[in-house]
């Protein structure tokens, strides 16, 4: 960042003697030298490695994103509770679910750290769900004679503990149309809706607290400078691997799945789209891309662009950002829900173009970013064509 330098103007008048002019000039030179020396000393005192600065900035961003997700989750729990008191209009709860899912998509790429300790990633969102397991498990819970409470959900499968189950209860007609009925089924659905919303808050809060924990932060940030020869996976490598993994997930699962590219028969299937019931599949992908863009260019910290410049690879940041922008532009051209677009042959060229663009973004991250930062990536379960 360039900082505007101060402009020094002499207030001397035409009556100043030449000796005074020389003295003023000498003073300016002295002041300039002092400024240069001061800046040099400050720079020398900041001995924090660039990698550590970047990891610290990303860690701060992750913590902030989880705080945002927690806030949206709490609002969702309040919204579902209000609805169940008078189950007439689902719109506020649905809208808040969409806001909560968007907040989750912003931080979904972070598949490391506290989220791994209790299978919390699956508890927040169970997906892909090719066999419609969520609907089956939810149905089994609703068939129980006992009331559904927190203890019930805690013993249940992760499948019914998060956003996917809530989407089913809020957006699927087989469930949403029953809330107005004065039946045991409607009462059970509201029990599950409230309890699952509250359970989500507990899960997100646990992860958020993990990222705020001083001991975890100290241990994790310390790995930022372990180097590639260490047997310990360093924080910098975890971040880059997670960025790549998320974009591969977008290509292979979020786009490739519904397009049929993961199926043996290569037939499209809209039900394989993420969040197909709420028609928010494309919004999820947009959030994923924007989250990556914020890692590249951060307004409030040491970002990937500055780290790449330190490694002599500044142009790579522009290339990655340009490819992200290309993906966002292609995404905006798809004007119907992904679950419907994949079944419409008229949309196939646009979807294929987006799928290819995300693949090119993956290549930039894998073949460009990782080598530029001297990071050796390990095996990724999302690897594939």
Q: What is the DSSP string of 8-74?
A: ------TT--HHHHHHHHHHHHHHHHHHHHHHHHHHHH----HHHHHHHHHHHHHHHHHHHHHHHHH
Average model confidence (pLDDT) across the chain: 87
* 325: pLDDT strictly greater than 50: yes
Q: What is the mean pLDDT of residues 89-94?
A: 97
Instruction: Write down the pLDDT at residue 227.
Output: 54
Which of 237-258 are b and which e, b meaning 16 or more Cβ less than 10 Å from the residue's Cβ?
bbbbbbbbbbbbbbbbbbbbbb
pLDDT per position as a tens digit, 1-56 = 333 343 333 333 333 344 344 344 444 444 444 333 433 433 445 688 999 999 99
Distance CA 262, CA 14 (A): 82
pLDDT(381) > 90: no
Give me the mean pLDDT over the 362-372 stretch.
96
Give pLDDT, residue 299: 76
Per-residue pLDDT at 233 = 67
Per-residue model confidence (pLDDT) at position 3: 33
> How many CA atoms within 13 Å lie on the side-chain side of 142?
24
Across the range 173-184, mean pLDDT stands at: 92
Q: What is the pLDDT of residue 12?
A: 34
Q: Does position 251 have pLDDT exceeding 90, yes or no?
A: yes
pLDDT in tens, 279-322: 999 999 999 999 999 999 987 789 999 999 999 999 999 999 99
> What is the model's pLDDT at position 35?
34
What's the rounded Cα separation, in Å, for the pair 316 and 365?
10
Three-point CA angle 94, 115, 375, nearest 5°: 120
Q: Is the pTM of this model over 0.75?
A: yes
Q: What is the mean pLDDT of residues 321-346?
A: 98
Element (H, E) at 344: none
Does position 112 have pLDDT exceeding 70, yes or no? yes
**Considering just the CA atoms, what is the radius of gyration of the chain in Å?**
27
First to last CA, the chain: 39
Residue 129 in this model has a pLDDT that exceeds 90: yes
Q: In this prediction, what percent of the chain has a pLDDT beyond 70? A: 84
């Amino acid at each position: 960042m360039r900082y505007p330098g101060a402009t020094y103007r002499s207030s001397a008048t035409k009556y100043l003697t030449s000796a005074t002019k020389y003295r003023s000039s000498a003073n300016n030179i002295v002041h300039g030298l002092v400024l240069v020396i001061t800046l040099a000393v400050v720079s020398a005192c900041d001995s924090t490695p660039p990698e550590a600065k970047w990891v610290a900035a990303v860690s701060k961003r992750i913590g902030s994103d989880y705080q945002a997700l927690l806030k949206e989750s709490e609002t969702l729990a309040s919204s579902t509770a209000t609805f169940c008191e008078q189950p007439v209009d689902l719109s506020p709860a649905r809208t808040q679910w969409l806001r909560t899912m968007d907040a989750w998509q912003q931080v979904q790429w972070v598949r490391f750290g506290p989220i791994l300790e209790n299978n919390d990633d699956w508890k927040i969102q169970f997906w892909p769900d090719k066999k419609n397991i969520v609907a089956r498990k939810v149905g089994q819970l609703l068939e129980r004679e006992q009331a559904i409470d927190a203890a019930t959900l805690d013993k249940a499968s992760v499948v019914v503990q998060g956003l996917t189950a809530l989407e089913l209860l809020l957006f699927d007609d087989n469930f949403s149309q029953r809330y107005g009925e004065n039946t045991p089924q409607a009462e059970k659905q509201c029990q599950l809706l409230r309890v699952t919303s509250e359970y989500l808050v507990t899960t997100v809060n646990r992860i958020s607290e993990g990222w705020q924990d001083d001991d975890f932060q100290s241990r994790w940030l310390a790995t930022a400078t372990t180097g590639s020869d260490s047997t310990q996976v360093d924080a910098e490598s975890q971040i880059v691997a997670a960025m790549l993994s998320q974009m591969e997930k977008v290509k292979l699962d979020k786009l490739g799945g519904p397009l049929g590219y993961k199926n043996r028969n290569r037939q499209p299937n809209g039900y394989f789209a993420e969040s197909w019931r709420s028609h928010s599949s494309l919004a999820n992908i947009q959030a994923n891309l924007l989250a990556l863009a914020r890692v590249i260019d951060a307004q409030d910290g040491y970002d990937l662009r500055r780290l790449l410049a330190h490694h002599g690879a500044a142009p790579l940041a522009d290339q990655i950002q340009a490819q992200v922008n290309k993906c966002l532009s292609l995404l905006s051209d798809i004007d119907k829900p992904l679950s419907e677009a994949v079944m419409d042959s008229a949309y196939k060229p646009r979807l294929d173009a987006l799928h290819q663009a995300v693949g090119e973004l993956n290549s930039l991250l894998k073949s460009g970013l990782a080598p530029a930062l001297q990071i050796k990536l390990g095996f990724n379960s999302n690897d594939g064509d």
